[in-house]
Structure formats: C-alpha cells, structure tokens
Amino acid sequence: DSVIHWFKRDLRLFDNRGLRMASEKAKTKGVPLICMFIVSPQDYQAHFTSPARVDFELRTLKIMKDDLAKLDIPLHIETIEKRKDIPHHLMSLFSNWGAKHVYCNIEYEVDELRREEKMIRKCLDMGIAFNPVHDDVVVAPGELSTGAGKQYAVYSPWFRSWIAHVHANPNLLEASEGPEQNPSDIRKRFKDIFDMKIPEAPSNKSLTSEEKKRFEHLWPAGEHEAMDRLNKFLKQKIGKYKDARNLPGSNATATVSVHHSAGTLAARTSVRAARDADSTKKLDGGNSGIASWISEVAWRDFYKHVLAHWPYVCMFKPFKYEYTNIKWEYNDSHFEAWCAGQTGFPIVDAAMRQLNHTGYMHNRCRMIVASFLAKDLLLDWRMGEKYFMEHLIDGDFASNNGGWGFSASTGVDPQPYFRIFNPLLQSEKFDSDGEYIRKWVPELKSVEGKAIHDPYSRGAAKIAEKNGYPKPIVEHKGCRERALARYKQGIGRE
Ligand code: FAD
C-alpha cells in the first residue's frame, strides 16, 4: 500500500494542506508517502505558459526532490506528451504503487476541474480515494456571498466579507507542518524513483542558455527563497508599501508573485506573516502598509473566486457579455510595436521591455500597457492577455485575466469604459523623475527633465532620433475618442 501526493501548482513542502493530509494518512496507515509531478507539454501549450515559468518550475522541482529525499520521500517526475493520456497513465502508476489514497490541491480552472472529476471517477472504480483539497486560496471559492446569496462581482464589499470571514475562522491562517519522514526501507523499494533525473523542459518551452542564466539570477527558485523574499519584504519594505507601491522605479513591492503562482509560497503563509507583523494581529489593523499589502494579496483570492463562479471567463469570453461585440482593430504592426516596446510612448516601452527581459512587470505598468493596448490601440485585449502569459514568469490565469478585464473594462469590477488612462499623465505621476524609463529605455538615458515622458514634443527629439527611439505610433487624444465611440457602439449605447 501507499499514499500519493500529486504536486501541481503547490511546489512546496511547508504549509501545504494536501501534502500534510497525505503525510498524516500515510502515517496512520503505516504506509509510505510517494510524491509525483507531471510535466505536460500540451498543457503548457494550451495555457500559453512562458518558457521562463517552465524553467522556474523545473528548478523548483530539483530543490523539492532533494528536500523530500532527506525525509525518504520519493518524488516521481515524468513528462507525458499527450494530455489526454494523463488520467490513464496515472491510474497505472497508482496501481503499480498500490495506492489507496491520493491527495492533491485543487486548481480552479475549467480544464483542471474537468481532469479532477475524471480522476475521482476512475479512482472510485479502482477503490482508491481521490482527495482534492482547498489550499491555493485563503478562503475557498463559494464561502463568501452577498446578502442576496450571490457571488460578489465587486471587490470592496467582497474584501470586507473576506476580512470578516478570516477573522471569524482563524484556522484558515493556521500553518501546516511539512511531511513526516517515511519508513526507512522505502529507499530500496522505490530506488528507481529516488534515482530519477529532473526532466528537461519540453522543446516548445525551452530557454537559450543566456536566458536560463538570466532567469536563474533574477528569480532563484524554491520555497526557501520565497520565505527569504517574504521576510525581507516584511522587515524592510512593508511600512512604506502603501505610499510607494504604485511607483515602478521604487522597488517597493514584495516581488513574490511568481512564488504565489507556482505555489512555492502559499498566499495563506503571506497573509499570516503580514498579520503577525502587525501589533494588533488584525488583517486591517493599525499599520497601513501591512493592511494595504494584505488587501493586494486578497485580490488574488478574489479573482480565483470569480473564475470558479463564472468559468466561462476561461473560454476567451469577456466577463461582461455586452462587451463581446466591440469591433477591435487587428493592426499587426501596432501589436508588434507594443510587444517589442517600440510604441514611442516611453512608459509603455519601458514596461514592455521590463517584461521581455525579466518575465515580470510592475503592477502600475501592467495597467498602463493593458489600457494602452485595449483603448489607445483598440486591439483585442485577449491578444495582450495571451502575450502576458507567454512572457510572465508569474503568469496566473485568474489574476492575469482579471487584470486585463479590469483594464479593458470588459471584466469583473472593471474600470468604467469611459475612463481611459492617458499614458503621458500616468508617466508623469508615477515615474515623475523618469528613473524607470531611463532604466529600460537606454535610448533616452541622456534626456533630462520632463522631456523623458514625451521626447518628441518636449524638445528632446534630436536625442531620441539620433538614438533610434521611435516616434509615437498613435496620437492619444484621437485614440481616446475612437475608443469611446467604439466601446459605446459595441455595447449598444450609441
Ligand atoms: P505586491 O504588490 O507585493 O503584492 C503581493 C501579492 O499580492 C502579489 O505577489 C500577488 O500574488 C498579489 N497581487 C497583488 N496585486 C494583485 C492584483 N492586482 N491581482 C491579483 N493578485 C495581486 N499577477 C500575477 O500573479 N500573475 C499574473 O499573470 C498577473 N497578470 C496581471 C495582468 C494585468 C493586466 C494586471 C493589471 C495585473 C496582473 N497581475 C498578475 C497582478 C499584479 O500586477 C502582480 O501580482 C504584481 O505586480 C506582482 O508583484 P509583487 O509580487 O511585487 O506584488
């Protein structure tokens, strides 16, 4: 006999609910715990997973394999080319290992829930208990509802209810210990699994060796690194977070999103640690930096609740039906300029180049470039959503889809369609001295003062031209009017 834990986007040993339950079950039964992870190239393809993210997961698995081996727990990692083969293949592994109980943490996207349902049925047929566990979010989807018993579609009342629920159920923030040591004879019995090598990235998702080095340096993998980052942020930066979080040049945020999304850090761990750093031990307590950070981590829960309640958002549909008929421009050269950071709008270009180089972009800039794509360029927001997933190391369907829906005004609790970011004003407000732009757009490094935000109309045309920086590909005012008209027409409010 044995008990299995199937790792997915919960790549850690500490504070992992499913893993802990599997470990406890194995202990009570007196049988070994076996862990597994499936590399699925077709899933990566279908979900537009970035090569940087795949590489991050594989690097994390290496660390986990060693940590688990210290506890005599084997980690079986295997690539299965066709995703339709996964359930069948898993069943034969379970049968070889004599598994009677399988645990995993739930992923709320449609494909994943369907696969889980299939696994539950197949396992039932074979007398195996398949146990999907809520772990990825602090509060499980379905727990919070409006006075009328409905799912919230607006963040602020949802957040008040989230806070009250967590205060009333302090166990939601309790940590789970890591797994227990396996019986020592397991090493011999499962030698082949202990000896398994970490697979290479699938060919459709591999990095060049230069990129590999760069991402390893920028984003060290694994749960130990995640805890270090969290603790450093809580010690050094959280006090100033509320004021500085919107300034892309200030390096004021936690940069733990890749860890939340790969599961090297549980959102629960983050919220608990932030709460404990506040003297009131409340989530909305005395320290405004802490309260503000917790409310950002809660956005992640919010978007997962939205996804679980309205699964059609996973099917390339806008949350708001009436926005289905907006007539987008399909202008390839504009899209290419946006992707490459060559639009002639310095803040947009800086942000896109940050994404292309590091796999990450500051939140304020994500909103600016998303609004620019959907409103100024009037390109279908789904092209931007996909490009983000293909390049972000922290790509997470719910947060990305939610962020794009907010910015394009097609999503849940969106920015109203008539509120259109002016990229120049955003740049002046949030990167006032141009520090962020100068870092990512070297062509403008020597531009001084306010000209950095719009070199061609503010007296820095010569430098910009000499260094090959492009002229603006569109004119904001005209674009704004076009977007207003097109959105109005699309949603039938002419
Ligand atoms: P901090 O400011 O330190 O916040 C702490 C944590 O809270 C983050 O790590 C993240 O897990 C969560 N968080 C913060 N803001 C948000 C938010 N607006 N929505 C959901 N969760 C949030 N975040 C992703 O993790 N993956 C994505 O694919 C993603 N795509 C986005 C696309 C768009 C268009 C927009 C506007 C936002 C997107 N975000 C996404 C949200 C946000 O930009 C990032 O989570 C944040 O920039 C990560 O940096 P940090 O860890 O330093 O955040």
The model's pLDDT over 6-42, given as tens digits with 9 standing for 90+, comes to: 999 999 999 999 999 999 999 999 999 999 999 999 9
**Quick one: which of 356, 487, 484, 344 has its CA closest to 427?**
344
Tokens of 464: 């910009």
pTM of the complete model: 0.98
- Cβ 215 vs Cβ 207: under 8 Å: yes
What pLDDT score does 321 carry? 85
Start-end of CATH 1.25.40.80 domains in the chain: 137-174+220-309
Categorize the per-residue pLDDT at 248 as very low, low, confident or very high, splitting at 50, 70 and 90. Answer: very high
Q: Is 442 helix (H, G, I), strand (E, B) or coil?
A: helix
Please work out whether the CB of residue 265 comes within 6 Å of at least one atom of ligand 1. no
Start-end of CATH 1.10.579.10 domains in the chain: 321-490
**Quick one: which of 284, 227, 276, 278 has its CA closest to 256?**
227
Please name the residue that has the structure tokens 């950071």: 341
ipTM, 2 decimals? 0.99
Catalytically annotated residue among 97, 162, 338, 404: 404
CA of 253 to the centre of ligand 1 (A): 10
**Quick one: which of 415, 369, 414 has its CA closest to 392?**
369
Per-residue pLDDT averaged across 343-371, rounded?
A: 98
- Cβ 404 vs Cβ 411: under 8 Å: yes
Please name the residue that has the structure tokens 């097109």: 486
Low-confidence winner among 167-171, 411-415, 459-463, 477-481 (lowest mean pLDDT): 411-415
Q: Is the pLDDT of residue 4 over 90?
A: yes
* Ligand 1: residue whose CA is nearest its atom 8: 257
* Residue 71 C-beta-side C-alpha neighbours within 13 Å: 18
Q: How far apart are CA 431 and CA 364, in angstroms?
A: 10
Per-residue pLDDT averaged across 229-244, rounded?
A: 97
Is 338 annotated in the active site?
no
Is 219 annotated in the active site?
no
Is residue 137 annotated as involved in ligand binding? no
CA distances from 423 to 28, 350, 426, 472 (A): 60, 12, 5, 11
Is residue 446 annotated as involved in ligand binding? no
CB within 8 Å of 99: residues ≥ 6 apart: 1, 2, 3, 4, 34, 93, 128
**Quick one: which of 386, 393, 400 has its CA closest to 45?**
386
Q: What average pLDDT does the chain have?
A: 96
> For the domain 1-134, what is the CATH superfamily, name and number?
HUPs (3.40.50.620)
Q: How far apart are CA 190 and CA 197, in angstroms?
A: 14
Question: Cα–chain-centroid distance for residue 40?
Answer: 18
Is 296 annotated in the active site?
yes
Q: How far apart are CA 349 and CA 365, in angstroms?
A: 10
Categorize the per-residue pLDDT at 328 as very low, low, confident or very high, splitting at 50, 70 and 90. Answer: very high
Q: Fold for domain 137-174+220-309? A: 1.25.40
Please work out whether the CB of residue 392 comes within 6 Å of at least one atom of ligand 1. yes
Start-end of CATH 3.40.50.620 domains in the chain: 1-134
Catalytically annotated residue among 331, 356, 363, 467: 363
CA of 125 to the centre of ligand 1 (A): 41
CA of 372 to the centre of ligand 1 (A): 18
The alpha-carbon radius of gyration of the chain (Å, integer) is 24
- Cβ 119 vs Cβ 8: under 8 Å: no
**Quick one: which of 255, 269, 297, 301 has its CA closest to 393?**
255
**Quick one: which of 1, 10, 5, 8 has its CA closest to 265?**
10
CA of 389 to the centre of ligand 1 (A): 13
Please work out whether the CB of residue 388 comes within 6 Å of at least one atom of ligand 1. yes
Please work out whether the CB of residue 245 comes within 6 Å of at least one atom of ligand 1. yes
Tokens of 277: 């750093």
Q: Is the pLDDT of residue 231 over 60?
A: yes
Is 381 annotated in the active site?
yes
* Packing angle of the helix pair 397-408, 288-309 (nearest 10 deg): 100
Is residue 103 annotated as involved in ligand binding? no
Give the model confidence (pLDDT) of 172-224 as tens digits. Answer: 999 999 999 999 899 999 999 999 999 999 998 999 999 999 999 999 999 99
Q: Fold for domain 321-490? A: DNA Cyclobutane Dipyrimidine Photolyase, subunit A; domain 3 (1.10.579)
Of 229, 363, 373, best ligand 1 pocket probe by most atoms within 8 Å of the beta carbon: 363
What pLDDT score does 46 carry? 94
CA distances from 490 to 263, 321, 481, 493 (A): 39, 11, 14, 8
Q: How far apart are CA 418 and CA 409, in angstroms?
A: 9
Q: How far apart are CA 35 and CA 263, in angstroms?
A: 16
Q: Is 210 helix (H, G, I), strand (E, B) or coil?
A: helix
**Quick one: which of 341, 328, 368 has its CA closest to 473?**
341
